[in-house]
C-alpha cells in the first residue's frame, strides 16, 4: 500500500489541495509459509487465501517520508517503500522464534521493572512474596541483584488478568466488588501503553497515542501542552520507564528552535516559548481561536519542567549539562522578558489566562484574559527554581540569566487564598461561572509542581482541599487522574481512592456524555471522546499514593487506602535522588521497605512513614532494608 497525505490541511469547506504533495507512506505485507502442500490464492485483488500450509507468518513493515519537523514533506528525500523493504528484508531473514524472542526481551526489559500486588485478603499470596528472600550463602549478591532489579515475583500478568469475566463485566461490577486486581491491571496497562507508543526514535505520544483510527480525529490528535501531553509522560519516571521520555526531550528541542522565532517575532523576547497546541511540526505560535485556550505561552515552560524532573530522578549530570540546562535556561530567558512591572511591588504576566476557564469580569460579562494567573506564577517558580539549582550543580551561578532570576524570584506574586478558603485562580477574586470546571490548573503547585506541600505550606494545602471539594469529583478521565494525584499529595487516601472509583466507570461509546470521563470496554480512558492521557495519569497517580519524594525526603505509603488494600506490595518504583523502592504492607501498615541507588549523587536524607521520620543514608550500590518503624535492619551489595 502506497499513498500520500494532502499537501494542505483539509477544511470544513472542502478537501485540501494535493499540490504540493504531503507526507508519503508505504506499508508492505509479506507472507511466509511452511509445508509442502501449502498454496496461496489472491482473491479480488485484495485478499489472500491460504490452504494446506503447516504454518503462516505475516510480516508487516511500514514507513513514511517524514524527516523531522524542519523538512517540508515536498523536500523530503526519504522513499518510504525503500525504507519498508529494508526493514522487511531484515525480518525475513530471522526465524519466527528469534523475532518473538527479540520482541519479548525488548518489552519485558521495561515492563518487568515494576510489579504491583493489591489485596484485601490476608490469605492471598502476599505472605510468600516478601520483597526479597535472603539466602545465607555466597550467591547472595547475585540473587539479591536479580530479585531486586528484575522484580518478577510479586505480581504476574496471570494474577491481575485471571478473571473469567470479560473486561467490560469487570468494569461494570467494580462499583460492587472493587476488585483490586482490576486496579493492578489498569496500572500496568498504562505502563504497557507508554512502552508501546513512546520509545527512542519515535514521535511523542499525542492525544490518542498511536491508537487513533480516524483520518480527522478529535482535536486533530494533536499534543496539547496545557496538561494532556505532560500527563502522557507523568508515569515515565516514578514507574521506571525513563527511556520512554526520549521522544519528549527530542520534541522539546525542536520546540525550542521554532519557539525562539515565536518569542522574538510575537513578543520581542529572548529565549524560547510554546503555547497550548502543538503538532508534528513543532508548532509554537498561539493558535487561532478563543484566547481562553489559544493564548497561553506557558506550554513550553511546563514541558521544560520535565527536563529537571528527569535529572532529579536519574541524577544524570551529563543529561543535565548537555540537554536539560540549555533548554531550561532558554525557557527562563523568555519568562524573564515576559514578566513586566505591575502597579505594585510584584512582577506580573499580562496578558494571562488560566487554561480553558472563564471568569466573570467586573462588568458582569464572561472574560478569560487577566494578569498573573496562579498557573502562570506556579510554572514560572518551577522553572526559576530548576535553573537556580541546576546552575549550582553545574557551576554556572554567575551567568546573567541566573542573576536576573535571583532578583526576580522575591518579586513574584504569592499564591493567594480566596474568601471562601479556596486557592485563587486569578490575581483578583473573580466570580467563577463554572464552579465544576474540568481543569484544576491553579493547584499545579501541589502536583506536579513543588511550591506547595503539607509540611511547608499547610494553610495552602487546606485551601487546595477546599478547592477540590468546590470543583467536585466529576470530569473527564484526565481530570479524574489529576485530582487523584492531588488528593494523594494531601495524604487523603479516602478521596484518592474515590477518584479510582470515579475513573473505573463504563462509558458506552454509542451514548457518550461530553466530558463525563470513565473507561471504555477495552480500558481506554474517555474524555469522551477517547483520549489516552488518563491511561497514563492513572499509574502516575497510583504511584503517588504509594511513594512520594522530594530531593531530600522520601514518603512511604502516604495515601494508602488501608481498608481497601490492607495487604500488598510494590516493587521497582522510582523516587527522586536516583532511588529504587520495594515496599510491602500488611494489615494496612508498612511491613518492610527496600531502598537502593546506583547514583553517587543520591540526595535522600529523610524517610517518612505516617508520623515517623528517620534520617537515612542510601549508599550507592547498597540495598537497605527498613522495618515498619523505619529502622535499617540490614544492608548488602547489589
Give mean pLDDT in consecutive 10-residue pieces for the chain, a chain of 638 residues. Answer: 86 65 95 91 92 94 97 95 97 94 97 95 51 41 37 46 83 96 98 97 94 89 95 98 98 98 98 96 94 94 98 96 98 98 93 97 96 98 98 96 98 97 97 95 98 97 98 96 98 98 93 84 93 97 97 96 97 96 97 92 89 91 95 94
Sequence-distant (≥ 6) Cβ neighbours of residue 541 within 8 angstroms: 234, 481, 482, 484, 485, 488, 496, 499
Instruction: Compute the distance between CA of residue 62 and CA of residue 87 in angstroms, rounded to an integer.
Output: 9
How far is Cα 255 from Cα 39, in angstroms, rounded to an integer? 52
Q: For the chain, give every domain's residue range.
A: 2-93, 115-132+149-221+478-637, 222-413
Burial class of residue 37 (count of CB atoms within 10 Å of its CB; 0-12, 13-18, 19+): exposed
- At residue 512, the pLDDT reads 81
Partners of 50 in beta bridges: 40
| DSSP 3-state percent helix, strand, coil across the chain (nearest 5) | 40, 20, 45
pLDDT at 163: 67
Tell me the β-bridge partners of 549. 554
3-state secondary structure at position 122: coil
Q: What is the DSSP string of 358-384?
A: -EE-TTSSEE--BS--HHHHHHHHHHH
Phi, psi of 613 (to 5 degrees): -135, 130
Specify the pLDDT at position 120: 77
- CATH number of this structure's domain 222-413: 1.50.10.10
Question: How far is 618 from 604, CA to CA, in rounded Å?
Answer: 7
Q: What is the pLDDT of residue 144?
A: 36
Amino acid at each position: 500500500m502506497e499513498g500520500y497525505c494532502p499537501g494542505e490541511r483539509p477544511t470544513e469547506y472542502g478537501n485540501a489541495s494535493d499540490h504540493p504533495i504531503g507526507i508519503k507512506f508505504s506499508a508492505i505485507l509479506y507472507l511466509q509459509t511452511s509445508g509442502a502442500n501449502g498454496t496461496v490464492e489472491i482473491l479480488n485483488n485484495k485478499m489472500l487465501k491460504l490452504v494446506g500450509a503447516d504454518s503462516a507468518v505475516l510480516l508487516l513493515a511500514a514507513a513514511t517520508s517524514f524527516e523531522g519537523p524542519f523538512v517540508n514533506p515536498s523536500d523530503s528525500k526519504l522513499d518510504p517503500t525503500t525504507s519498508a523493504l529494508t526493514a522487511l528484508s531484515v525480518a525475513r531473514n530471522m526465524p519466527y522464534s528469534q523475532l518473538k524472542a527479540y520482541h519479548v526481551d525488548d518489552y519485558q526489559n521495561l515492563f518487568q521493572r515494576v510489579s504491583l500486588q493489591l489485596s484485601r485478603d490476608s490469605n492471598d499470596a502476599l505472605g510468600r512474596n516478601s520483597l526479597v528472600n535472603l539466602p545465607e550463602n555466597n550467591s547472595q549478591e547475585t540473587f539479591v541483584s536479580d530479585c531486586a532489579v528484575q522484580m518478577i515475583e510479586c505480581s504476574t500478568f496471570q494474577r491481575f488478568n485471571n478473571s473469567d469475566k470479560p473486561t467490560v463485566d469487570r468494569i461494570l461490577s467494580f462499583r460492587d466488588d472493587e476488585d483490586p486486581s482490576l486496579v493492578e491491571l489498569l496500572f500496568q496497562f498504562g505502563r504497557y501503553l507508554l512502552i508501546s507508543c513512546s520509545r527512542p526514535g519515535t514521535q511523542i505520544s499525542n492525544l490518542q497515542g498511536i491508537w487513533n483510527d480516524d483520518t480527522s480525529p478529535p482535536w486533530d490528535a494533536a499534543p496539547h501542552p496545557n496538561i494532556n501531553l505532560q500527563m502522557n509522560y507523568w508515569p515515565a519516571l516514578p514507574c521506571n520507564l525513563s527511556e520512554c521520555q526520549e521522544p519528549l526531550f527530542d520534541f522539546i528541542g525542536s520546540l525550542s528552535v521554532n519557539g525562539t522565532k515565536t518569542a522574538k517575532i510575537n513578543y520581542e523576547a529572548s529565549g524560547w516559548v510554546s503555547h497550548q497546541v502543538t503538532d508534528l511540526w513543532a508548532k509554537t505560535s498561539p493558535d487561532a481561536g478563543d484566547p481562553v485556550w489559544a493564548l497561553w505561552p506557558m506550554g513550553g515552560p511546563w514541558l521544560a519542567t520535565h527536563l529537571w524532573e528527569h535529572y532529579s530522578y536519574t541524577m544524570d549530570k551529563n543529561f543535565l549539562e548537555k540537554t536539560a540546562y540549555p533548554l531550561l535556561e532558554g525557557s527562563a530567558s523568555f519568562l524573564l522578558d515576559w514578566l513586566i512591572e505591575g502597579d505594585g511591588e510584584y512582577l506580573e504576566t499580562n496578558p494571562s489566562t488560566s487554561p480553558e476557564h472563564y471568569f466573570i469580569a467586573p462588568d458582569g460579562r464572561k472574560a478569560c484574559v487577566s494578569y498573573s494567573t496562579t498557573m502562570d506564577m506556579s510554572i514560572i517558580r518551577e522553572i526559576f527554581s530548576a535553573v537556580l539549582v541546576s546552575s549550582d550543580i553545574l557551576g554556572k551561578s554567575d551567568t546573567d540569566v541566573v542573576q536576573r532570576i535571583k532578583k526576580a524570584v522575591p518579586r513574584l506574586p504569592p499564591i493567594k487564598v480566596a474568601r471562601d478558603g479556596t486557592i485563587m485562580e486569578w490575581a483578583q477574586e473573580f466570580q467563577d461561572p463554572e464552579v465544576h470546571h474540568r481543569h484544576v490548573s491553579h493547584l499545579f503547585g501541589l502536583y506536579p509542581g513543588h511550591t506547595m506541600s503539607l509540611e511547608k505550606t499547610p494553610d495552602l494545602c487546606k485551601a487546595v482541599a477546599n478547592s477540590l471539594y468546590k470543583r467536585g469529583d466529576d470530569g473527564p478521565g484526565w481530570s479524574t487522574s489529576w485530582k487523584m494525584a492531588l488528593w494523594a499529595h494531601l495524604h487523603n487516601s479516602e478521596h484518592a481512592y474515590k477518584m479510582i472509583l470515579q475513573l473505573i466507570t463504563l462509558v458506552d461509546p454509542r451514548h457518550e456524555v461530553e466530558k463525563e470521563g470513565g473507561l471504555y470496554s477495552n480500558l481506554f480512558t474517555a474524555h469522551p471522546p477517547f483520549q489516552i492521557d488518563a491511561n497514563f495519569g492513572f499509574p502516575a497517580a497510583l504511584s503517588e499514593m504509594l511513594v512520594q519524594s522530594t530531593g531530600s525526603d522520601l514518603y512511604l505509603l502516604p495515601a494508602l487506602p488501608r481498608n481497601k488494600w490492607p495487604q500488598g506490595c510494590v516493587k521497582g518504583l522510582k523516587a527522586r535522588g536516583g532511588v529504587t523502592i520495594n515496599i510491602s504492607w500488611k494489615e494496612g501498615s508498612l511491613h518492610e521497605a527496600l531502598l537502593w541507588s546506583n547514583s553517587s549523587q543520591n540526595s535522600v536524607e529523610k524517610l517518612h512513614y505516617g508520623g515517623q521520620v528517620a534520617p537515612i543514608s542510601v549508599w550507592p550500590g547498597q540495598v537497605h532494608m527498613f522495618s515498619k518503624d523505619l529502622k535499617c535492619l540490614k544492608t548488602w551489595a547489589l
